[in-house]
Chains A and B, each alone.
Chain A
Amino acid sequence: MAENVQHAIAQKKDEPAGANEWEPKIIGFLCNWCSYAGADLCGVSRYQYPTNVRAVRVMCSTRISPHIVLELFTAGADGILVGGCHLNDCHYITGNFYTEKRLRLMKKLLEDAGIEPQRLRLEWVSASEGEKFSKIVTEFTEQVKKLGPSKVKKDAALKTRASAADGASQTFRLRALVGKELGLEKTGNVYGQKLDQTELEKLIDAATKDEFERSLILELSKQKARSVKELGQIMDVPTDKVLRHIVVLRQKNMIAMEHPDGLTPTYKAIEIGGEQ
C-alpha cells in the first residue's frame, strides 16, 4: 500500500493538459460482493484510473435487466459497464450466469438499434482484483472515447430506435426466453434432452429481431399514424414483413388502423395509461 501511495502523491501535482476535452459519462453497475469490493480494493491500493465511471452499487449483477441498460442508453449514456463476480463465484450462486445471458440480449438489441454494442461491457472482477478493476476502467474509458459521444442525444431517429430496443427488451417473449434459456440448457443436460446452445441462441436472435421491429413500429406510429410503406421505408424492412408485424400487433390490440384519406390505411399505436 505505502509504495503505491507515495507513487501517486509524487505525481499529484501534474494535472493533465486539455481539461476541456469531452469526457464520456459511463455508468458502472457493480455487484456488492465481488466487483464493488474489487473497486474498493483498487482504491485502498491507490491504483489510479480515469474519472469517467460513476458506480451504482447493486446486490448482484443479475439485478441489471435489459430494460435498465437500454433506458440509460436511450437517455444518452456514453457507456455502461456491468461488473460481477467470476462465474461460479456469484454470492447468489447462479446470478451471473443470467447476467451473461442478458448481456447477450442487450448487445443484440443495441446492434439492432444502431448503437455500438462496444459501449456495453461485462466484466468479472473479484474482490482481490483491484488492479484489474483499474485496468478495465482505463481500457473501457479509452474505448468509449474512441467511439465518441453517444449520438442518441443529437439524432432523433436513433433515439427512436433506442426506445424501440428498450421496448423490445420489456416484451414478454424476450424476457421469458432469456429467463428460460439457462433452464433449458441445464434441463437438457440433466435429462439428456440436449437443447443445443447455439440453436437456442439462434432462436433468441430471431425473436429479438422480430420484437425490435414490432417495437419500432409502435414507437414510430406513436409519433403519428403511418402507412405500411412509410414504416417500411423508415425502418428499412420489406413491407410484407412490416404488415406481418402489424397483424400481430393488431391482434394484441396494440395498434389501430386509420383511413385518413379513405384509401391507404395508416396505423397508430394505442397508448394505454400514458408513461409508466
Chain B
Amino acid sequence: MADTIKVDPKDKPRIGVFVCHCGTNIGGFVDVKSVAEYAKTLPDVIYATDNLYTCAEDGLVSIREGIRKHNLNRIIVASCTPRTHAPLFQATCESAGLNKYLFTFVNIREHCSWVHMKEREKGTTKARDLIRMGVARARLLIPQEEQRVDVEPSGVVIGGGVAGMTAALSLADMGFPVHLVEREAELGGFVKNLNNLYVTEKSATDTIKPLIEKTKAHKNVKLHLGSQMKSVEGFIGNYEIVIGAKGAEDIKAKVGTIIVATGALEYVPEGLYGYNQYPNVVTLTEFEILCKKKALPKMKNVAIIQCAGSRGQVKTYCSRVCCNVAIKNAINIVDNYDNMLGLAEQLGTVIEKVPVEQKVPEEIIERRRRRRGRERGEEGEADEVKLGPSEKIEVTVFNRDIMAYGVEHELTYNKAREKRVKFVRYTTDHLPRVYMEGNQLTVGYFHETLKLERTMPVDMVILSTPLVAQPDAGDLSQMLKVPLGQEGFFLEAHVKLRPVDFATDGIFVCGTCRGPADITEAVTQASAAASRAAIPMAKGYVQAEALTSVVDENKCSGCGTCIQVCPYGALRKSEKGLAEVIVAACKGCGCCGATCPEGAITMTNYTDAQLLAEAKAALQEEV
C-alpha cells in the first residue's frame, strides 16, 4: 500500500482516463483509441490511455503507475459496469494511495458497445459523451472519510418466551452480555399453557425446562423478571435503555443491539360458535390447560372447528399453528382420553361440563385475566401420562384447508386419519353452527359432497382460534420506532431476504410477535436474530459508506419532513431542534435530500452539483 495521497478539494483536479477495449467487446464496436485521444482534450485531463483489459493485472498496474508518474488525483475507468467492477478499481486506487471516492466509473460496454453493435460511429460518439460526463463529475469529487461508529458489544432481548430465551442464550454463548426483559414473573411465555408439543409427545413444560434453566444460569444473561422497557434512546451500537420493575428502582444500561421477542396471544372468540354462551365450548389453549390439569369432562363426541376467527372471519391471516395443534390434540384425545379421564377420576378432578366463563376452572379464569394484562399466579407441574387408545371416542375436525405443511405435519395428519379422526371440510359459504338442541350441544354443518345439511350431537367443541398480536405492541413499536404491519404484528425489513431485521439497523425481531409461528420456527428466527445482532457487536463498529446525507444547519428550519420520509429512521431532531443524520443508520438513498423543503440536505458523493454537472455535460455539443 502506497502512502496516502493528500487531495485538497481546492487542488486543481488532475484526471487520468483509462479506456478499455475489453478484448473486442468494446474495441470491436467503438473506436477506443480515438475515444482515449478525445479524453485528453477534456478539461483537467492530464493523462489518457487505452488498455486491452483494464481489469487485468497489467491494466491495474497502468492505473497505479499513472497515479504515481502523473500525480493524478482523479481516476476514470471507462469499461464495463460499476455494479461488478467498481470495487476492484476502487481498491486499485486505494493501493496507490488515492482515496477511493476520487474514482469515477464510465460504462461504455453494457450501456454502449454491446447495445450499439451496428452503429460504430454513433456508439463512438456516445462513448465520448459518456467520458465527458464522467470528467465533469470527477472534477467535482472530493475525498471522503468513511465514518465509524463504535458499537457497544452487549444486547437486550425483550420477551422471555422460547424465542427470547433462545436469542439471549445464543448471544450469551457467542460471548456477548445480554439483558433479558420479561414482564411476567417467570420465563417461558405462551408455552407454559400447553400440554404436550406436536411432532413429539413430550410435555411442553418438560421440553422447555432445560432452556429456562440454562437461561437462568448463564453468566452472560442478566435477567429482569416482572420488568418492562421504560425508554430507549439512541441508535445502532449506542442505545441507552431504562428497564423498570414495579416497586423497584429503574435500571439503566447501554446496549449495542435490541431483539424484540414479545410473542402473541390467543384470540378470544367472543360471539363465535357459542363461545362463552354454551358450556363445553373452549379454545384450543383452554383445552390444553384442561388436559394438563387432567380436568377433562366425560365425553364421547368431540368437534374441533378450525379457522375460528381467522382467514377472513375476523382476522385476515392464517395462524399457521392451529391446524397442527388441532391434529395433535385430536390424536391425544383418541390415544389418551381414557388415561386422562382415568387419571382425572383418580385425582378427583373430572368435571361434568366445562361451564361458561363464570364457572370455568380457576386455571382458565386466571389465564384469561392474565391475557388482559393483569398479574398472574403460580402454576402446578404436570404428571407423567400413560398412553392407550380409546375405542369409544369420536373426533371430527371441521376445516377449510388443513395446513399440515412439510414432512412431519403431513405424516401426522395421515396418522390422525388412520386413527379415525374425521376431517370434514367446510367453506365460508356454509360455516358450521354450534347450538343447543334442548340440553344437547350440537354442531350443524353442510356436507360438501352430499350437498346436505347435517347435524352432530357433541359433548365438546374446541375452537381453533388464531394467535393475535399483543395488544400493547404499539407502545413498544413507538418506543423503538419500528413499524407494525397490518394485524399488529411487527413488520420486518424485507419479507424475503431480511426476515428478522427491522429496517432500522441494530433492532431485530423474532418469534410470534412478528407473525404466527410454532416453537421450532420461533427459535430458529431467534438464533437468526442473534446472528444478525452479533454482526456489529463482533466487529465492534459500524462503518457507513460515504454515501450518506448531510444536513446544512444553516439552511434547516427543523420542519421534520426529512425525518418522516427516511425509511431507516436515520434522521432525528438534534438538541437545537434541527435535523441530524445518524450516519451509522443512513443508507444513502437520497430521499430526504430530494424532499427537504429548504434544500438543506445534500448527499455525500452524489451532490446536486455533481449530478447536474454530469448530466449537463451530456447536453453539451461536442467540443
> What CA separation (Å) do A60 and B559 show in the bound complex?
24
Question: Is A32 positioned at the interface, with any CB of B under 8 Å from its CB?
Answer: yes
| From B115, B567, B597, B598, contact of A48 by CB (8 A) | B115
- Indicate with 1 or 0, residue by residue over B548-563, a CB within 8 angstroms of chain A CB atoms: 0000000000010110
Q: Which of B117-125, B237-245, B518-526 contacts A (4 or more CB under 8 A)?
A: B117-125
| From A55, A72, A93, contact of B616 by CB (8 A) | A72
Closest residue of A by beta carbon distance from B609: A276
- Indicate with 1 or 0, residue by residue over A198-224, a CB within 8 angstroms of chain B CB atoms: 000000000000000000000000000
- Indicate with 1 or 0, residue by residue over B110-132, a CB within 8 angstroms of chain A CB atoms: 11101111111111011001100
- Indicate with 1 or 0, residue by residue over A11-44, a CB within 8 angstroms of chain B CB atoms: 1101110010001010101001000110110111
Q: Which of A118-126, A172-180, A231-239, A244-252 contacts B (4 or more CB under 8 A)?
A: A172-180
> What CA separation (Å) do A72 and B618 show in the bound complex?
10
| From B111, B112, B611, B616, contact of A75 by CB (8 A) | B616
Closest residue of B by beta carbon distance from A178: B595
Closest residue of B by beta carbon distance from A182: B565
The reply to whether B590 and A62 form a contact with Cβ atoms under 8 Å apart is yes
Closest residue of B by beta carbon distance from A180: B561
The reply to whether B615 and A72 form a contact with Cβ atoms under 8 Å apart is yes
> What CA separation (Å) do A91 and B588 show in the bound complex?
11
The reply to whether B597 and A51 form a contact with Cβ atoms under 8 Å apart is no
Question: Is B82 positioned at the interface, with any CB of A under 8 Å from its CB?
Answer: yes
Q: Which of A63-71, A107-115, A157-165, A255-263 contacts B (4 or more CB under 8 A)?
A: A63-71
Contacts of A46 in B (CB 8 A): 114-115, 117
Closest residue of B by beta carbon distance from A44: B110
The reply to whether A59 and B588 form a contact with Cβ atoms under 8 Å apart is yes
A-facing residues in B5-37 (Cβ within 8 Å): 29
Name the residue among B125, B608, B619 with the largest chain A CB count within 10 angstroms.
B619
Contacts of B598 in A (CB 8 A): 172
Question: Is A54 positioned at the interface, with any CB of B under 8 Å from its CB?
Answer: yes
| From B118, B125, B561, B568, contact of A12 by CB (8 A) | B118
The reply to whether A92 and B567 form a contact with Cβ atoms under 8 Å apart is yes
A-facing residues in B126-184 (Cβ within 8 Å): 126, 129-130, 133
**Can you report 23 residue pairs joining A to B where beta carbons are below 8 Å apart?**
A8-B117, A15-B118, A25-B619, A27-B618, A43-B111, A43-B114, A49-B116, A54-B129, A54-B615, A54-B618, A55-B111, A63-B590, A63-B606, A71-B612, A77-B619, A91-B589, A93-B493, A94-B565, A179-B561, A179-B597, A180-B561, A183-B564, A183-B565
Question: Is B411 positioned at the interface, with any CB of A under 8 Å from its CB?
Answer: no
> What would 8 more interface pairs be, CB under 8 Å, given A8-B117, A54-B133, A179-B597?
A16-B119, A40-B83, A40-B111, A65-B608, A171-B597, A176-B561, A179-B562, A179-B565
Contacts of A60 in B (CB 8 A): 589-591
Contact A63 to B594, CB < 8 A, known contacts A48-B117, A51-B116, A54-B130: yes
| From A25, A67, A68, contact of B618 by CB (8 A) | A25
> What CA separation (Å) do A40 and B82 show in the bound complex?
10
Closest residue of A by beta carbon distance from B561: A179
Contact A72 to B612, CB < 8 A, known contacts A48-B117, A63-B593: yes
Size bracket of the A interface: 35 or more
The reply to whether B118 and A14 form a contact with Cβ atoms under 8 Å apart is yes
Task: Looking at the assembled complex, report how far the CB atom of A221 sits from the nearest CB atom of chain B, in whole angstroms.
Answer: 22
Closest residue of A by beta carbon distance from B105: A57
The reply to whether A92 and B589 form a contact with Cβ atoms under 8 Å apart is yes
Contacts of B587 in A (CB 8 A): 92
Question: Is A9 positioned at the interface, with any CB of B under 8 Å from its CB?
Answer: yes
| From A44, A176, A178, contact of B559 by CB (8 A) | A176
Question: Is B109 positioned at the interface, with any CB of A under 8 Å from its CB?
Answer: yes
Contacts of B567 in A (CB 8 A): 92-95
Contacts of A77 in B (CB 8 A): 615, 619
The reply to whether A58 and B611 form a contact with Cβ atoms under 8 Å apart is yes
A-facing residues in B495-521 (Cβ within 8 Å): 503
- Indicate with 1 or 0, residue by residue over B581-605, a CB within 8 angstroms of chain A CB atoms: 0000001111101111111000100
Task: Looking at the assembled complex, report how far the CB atom of A149 sits from the nearest CB atom of chain B, in whole angstroms.
Answer: 11
> What CA separation (Å) do A91 and B568 show in the bound complex?
12
> What CA separation (Å) do A11 and B119 show in the bound complex?
10
Question: Is A76 positioned at the interface, with any CB of B under 8 Å from its CB?
Answer: yes
Contact A56 to B619, CB < 8 A, known contacts A65-B593, A94-B567: no
Question: Is A102 positioned at the interface, with any CB of B under 8 Å from its CB?
Answer: yes
Question: Is B220 positioned at the interface, with any CB of A under 8 Å from its CB?
Answer: no
The reply to whether A15 and B119 form a contact with Cβ atoms under 8 Å apart is yes
Closest residue of A by beta carbon distance from B616: A75
Contacts of A66 in B (CB 8 A): 594
B-facing residues in A134-190 (Cβ within 8 Å): 134, 170-173, 175-176, 178-180, 182-183
Closest residue of A by beta carbon distance from B123: A51
A-facing residues in B534-575 (Cβ within 8 Å): 547, 559, 561-562, 564-565, 567-568
> What CA separation (Å) do A48 and B122 show in the bound complex?
13
Contacts of B616 in A (CB 8 A): 72, 75
Closest residue of B by beta carbon distance from A41: B110
Question: Is B94 positioned at the interface, with any CB of A under 8 Å from its CB?
Answer: no
> What CA separation (Å) do A46 and B562 show in the bound complex?
41
Contacts of A67 in B (CB 8 A): 599, 608
The reply to whether A39 and B594 form a contact with Cβ atoms under 8 Å apart is no
The reply to whether A12 and B594 form a contact with Cβ atoms under 8 Å apart is no
> What CA separation (Å) do A9 and B603 show in the bound complex?
42
The reply to whether A72 and B594 form a contact with Cβ atoms under 8 Å apart is no
> What CA separation (Å) do A29 and B614 show in the bound complex?
11
The reply to whether A19 and B121 form a contact with Cβ atoms under 8 Å apart is yes
| From B112, B123, B595, B619, contact of A179 by CB (8 A) | B595
Question: Is B280 positioned at the interface, with any CB of A under 8 Å from its CB?
Answer: no
A-facing residues in B72-99 (Cβ within 8 Å): 81-83
The reply to whether B83 and A37 form a contact with Cβ atoms under 8 Å apart is yes
Question: Is B107 positioned at the interface, with any CB of A under 8 Å from its CB?
Answer: yes
Name the residue among B82, B593, B594 with the largest chain A CB count within 10 angstroms.
B594
Contacts of B82 in A (CB 8 A): 57
